[in-house]
Structure 1
Amino acid sequence: MSTKVSLLSLGGTIFMSQDASGGNARPDDSAGERLLATVGGGAEITSRALANISSSDVRPHHLADVLEHARAAVDAGAAGVVLTHGTDTLEETAFLLERYWDREAPLVVTGAMRPASDIGADGPANLRDAVRAATASSARGLGVLVAFDGHAHLPDQVTKASSRSVSAFASAPSGPLAIIAPDDLRLLHRPLPRTVRLPGSPPDHFPAVPVLAAGLDEDLALLDHVPPEQLAGLVIAGVGMGHVSPAAMPRLRRLLEGAIPVVVASRTWSGGTSTHHYAYPGSEVDLLDAGAVMAGLLPPAKARLLLQTLLADGAAPERIREAFGAFVS
């Protein structure tokens, strides 16, 4: 099996350096060369910096660029592809890439919580593990993976669970997919078949789909001041199993009656939405009766991306409902 790995970079903390005080980390183009020198492991690595930006600055056109280069590298004989990325939106990028990645070779996303200049930098180990995952025989056919702190995660389940810890990522409901060993992945469970695949690459710009959070004394009154024509869709970060206040329901019904899709996720970290537990006004049953779609196990940020990709692909309401149904337990 080939040991060639294509390393693509969009930057992030893994390619940042701090000032003398140990703070104020900023992108550092020289950090990449120093980091590559630490990887080792016998893999033949070719690298290309596509950008050196924070993850909050990543746009769909960056990910289209990633897919173009990643596909070309695999078609030219690379065993796999590694993408370095900032951690703040890493889970969203991995989730989005998973919708479009169409090769047997793995596409592994990684990053770091500590800058390259930090005495306890975690980037070298994460990059080494990402390269190992990219060449692992067990990783073939699994699609996009996230490599962090010695574990491989599935993009549909992984989330950034800490804004500070080097063990920043966790997966729900199944936990990490595998421990990354020097010779292969040690699978901790067998993944389900990959779902909701789309052709091509993301468009340069996604349709406008905001996320609004439900909560105590939140009636979503903001919707009274947003012209419906400015919304392609809406995602609600609902409380509990996907609930809103009764006073919010007339506003959501107006959107749904105007053929604007409304997807309801849970703002709770695990457990997702339900379809049948509660039937009071504003509950999941009430929302479903009004025509809303439940996001299931997808958190609000990923629900937004899935709805945007489907709308960009011209999906009709039934296809949208079917796509989210793959995440409903």
Structure 2
Amino acid sequence: MLGAPARFLHPDPTPARTPMRTLHVIALGGTIASSTSPAPTDSADSTGRTGPTSSTDRTDSTGPTAPARGVAPTVTAEEITAAARLDTLPGGAPQVSAEQLAQVGSGSIDFGILFSTVLAARRAAARGVDGIVLTQGTDTLEDSAFALSLLNDSGIPIVLTGAMRNPTLPGADGPANVRAAALTALVPEAAGLRAALVFADEVHDPLFVRKAHTSHVSPFTSGPVVGALGWVAEDRVRLPHLPAPRTLPVGLAVPRGSGADAAPDTAHAPNLDFPRVAHIDVGFDDGLEFLATLPEAGYWGAVLAGVGGGHVAARAVEAVEALAVRMPVVLASRTGAGATLEDTYGYPGAEIDLLSRGLLPAGLLDARKARIALTLALACGVDPAEVLAAFR
């Protein structure tokens, strides 16, 4: 007679426990944090200093104040986290902490704030956090996501999200987006990602994602060819299109040893002077004569968003070459999708001609992301060609 199935012979009286997951939420402001409550008269800049707000919509005897109409960022990181009901995630409630790193509209987010975010991610990773959700405004969400995909060396993913409908409106989407971002940050498959953008239940690669509509509740796309990395449904994350890892220069990193890495109560990055990099869209019948003024205006580099595969008018070639002698100039395309051409067209002003005159090809990067890559390369003292090579 055969014995009973093995699963009934030796029951385990002490089943293994699943380790508690840990999540850190960092808030920077934006629509997801906006309400009709009066905005504070003081605001923190990217280095942690406080001072009067910069709005000049209305002034009184105490100085500039917030606009009299509309919503502004006032909702805290703790309140954003609570609204997402992360205590009801499948698999048990994670241990969640929250940090208010800035409280600004996304147009005011700068490289200093993103450096501070990386420092916060390093501190979180050091205390055993599994993943980070970063909330901010959507206007520059794609920019922050790409910059953090270059800079985040904490070893845990930073998943960015926000909202299109602020908390005062019916159907506010912030809580659902934070919940989807939290699920993504905690899923094991995302552990190898430096950054991802999650919005309207879609998971996007920072390399390709862009905001394509000013007000639609689902404004982000990674089209028209690539598409999203995956999606979230029924509180489950599916990631069938994870990207291959990219090798980036070692020097492309937030400086260590500034004190912020070692001191838990120091939230902000050192006050660095970030280089100014111009983004120039080439227009129809554009001679680009003004390029000669960029060095005197304080620019350290430029990204040229050429027409088509990366082209300019023949009469603009002399101005472009003269600028490339004085500063790094990256050649991108204004189309927003596809790689910059390198070896197809040979007429004056086409890509073969321009690259032979010292311009650097943007590869897969659109002009906006190429500008971020060039800025960070210059700020970190890394050869821009080494950074751009990762995207060719």
* Amino acid in structure 1 at the alignment position of 2:355: L
Query: CA deviation digits over 1:16-60, x for unaligned, max 9?
Result: 1258xxx82211236852652332322222111111101110112
Query: CA deviation digits over 1:82-135, x for unaligned, max 9?
Result: 110111111111111111111332111111111111102110110001111111
Structure 2 unpaired stretches of 5+? 1-18, 38-68, 256-268
Quote the residue 2:346 is aligned against: 279
Once the two structures are TM-superposed, the CA of residue 224 in structure 1 deviates from its matched residue by 3.3
Once the two structures are TM-superposed, the CA of residue 325 in structure 1 deviates from its matched residue by 2.6
Quote the residue 1:214 is aligned against: 282
Of 189, 194, 205 in structure 2, the residue corresponding to residue 143 of structure 1 is 194
C-alpha separation in 2, matches of 1:32 and 1:140: 24
From the CA coordinates, give the structure whose radius of gyration is larger: 2
C-alpha separation in 2, matches of 1:129 and 1:141: 18
Q: What is the aligned residue count?
A: 321
How do 1:1-329 residues align onto structure 2 when only pairs under 5 Å count?
1-18=19-36, 24-29=70-75, 33=79, 36-40=82-86, 41=89, 42-172=93-223, 173-181=225-233, 184-197=236-249, 198-201=252-255, 204-227=272-295, 230-258=298-326, 260-316=327-383, 320-328=384-392
Once the two structures are TM-superposed, the CA of residue 287 in structure 1 deviates from its matched residue by 0.6
Q: Could you tell me the percent identity over the aligned residues?
A: 39
* Amino acid in structure 1 at the alignment position of 2:242: R
Structure 1 SS opposite 2:101: strand
When residues 138 and 253 of structure 1 are mapped into structure 2, their CA distance, relative to the original with a 3 A threshold, is same
* Amino acid in structure 2 at the alignment position of 1:64: F
When residues 62 and 166 of structure 1 are mapped into structure 2, their CA distance, relative to the original with a 3 A threshold, is same
Structure 1 unpaired stretches of 5+? none
Quote the residue 2:8 is aligned against: none
Once the two structures are TM-superposed, the CA of residue 297 in structure 1 deviates from its matched residue by 1.8
C-alpha separation in 1, matches of 2:111 and 2:382: 18
* Amino acid in structure 2 at the alignment position of 1:158: V
* Amino acid in structure 2 at the alignment position of 1:301: R
C-alpha separation in 2, matches of 1:196 and 1:31: 32
When residues 171 and 2 of structure 1 are mapped into structure 2, their CA distance, relative to the original with a 3 A threshold, is farther
CA contact (8 A) 2:278 2:303 kept: yes
When residues 224 and 65 of structure 1 are mapped into structure 2, their CA distance, relative to the original with a 3 A threshold, is closer
CA contact (8 A) 2:196 2:205 kept: yes
Structure 2 SS opposite 1:232: strand
More helix by share: 1
CA contact (8 A) 1:82 1:134 kept: yes
When residues 34 and 7 of structure 1 are mapped into structure 2, their CA distance, relative to the original with a 3 A threshold, is closer
CA contact (8 A) 2:77 2:98 kept: no
Alignment TM-score, normalising by the size of structure 2: 0.77
When residues 278 and 195 of structure 1 are mapped into structure 2, their CA distance, relative to the original with a 3 A threshold, is same
Which contiguous aligned blocks of 4+ residues in structure 1 show a shift greater than 3 angstroms?
A: 181-184, 224-229
Structure 2 SS opposite 1:291: coil
Alignment TM-score, normalising by the size of structure 1: 0.91
